[in-house]
Amino acid sequence: MSSPNVSLWTTLERDRFFLVPDDRQLPAGPFLIRTPTERRASVGEASIREFEVSEEDAKAWAKTEFGGLLDNVRGAIDRFSERLHKKARDMESEHKN
């Protein structure tokens, strides 16, 4: 279910959930939706129904997406830390010579 090309949308009351492809243009309408980052849209309710998922599926998707993001951040921090340690070792070596 996880895909970098899908965004999670909810109703304003957060009682309905939708995983909508990012490249999908939904027709305008009176049905208000939003993302967790507060992007908002007014779409036709019929046009978004096909993307509706259960709350459990939405939570599982979000956990997978954010878990992957955290893994990427951890990896970047580890690589940066290793470069810093290497630089410190190199500088220490230069000062001893």
pLDDT band at 89 (very low <50, low <70, confident <90, very high): confident
Residues forming a β-bridge with 11 = 33
User: Rounded mean pLDDT of 51-77?
Assistant: 80
- What is the average pLDDT score of the chain? 85
Determine if the pTM surpasses 0.85: no
Strand, helix or coil for residue 17: strand
pLDDT in tens, 1-49: 445 599 999 999 999 999 999 999 999 999 999 998 899 999 999 999 9
Among candidate residues 23, 26, 20, the one with its CA nearest the CA of residue 1: 20
pLDDT score, position 68: 58
In the prediction, which pLDDT does 1 show?
46
Q: What does the domain layout of the chain look like in residue ranges?
A: 6-96
Q: How far apart are CA 22 and CA 17, in angstroms?
A: 15
Residue 67 phi/psi, 5-degree rounding, is: -65, -45
Contact 55, 17 (CB under 8 A): yes
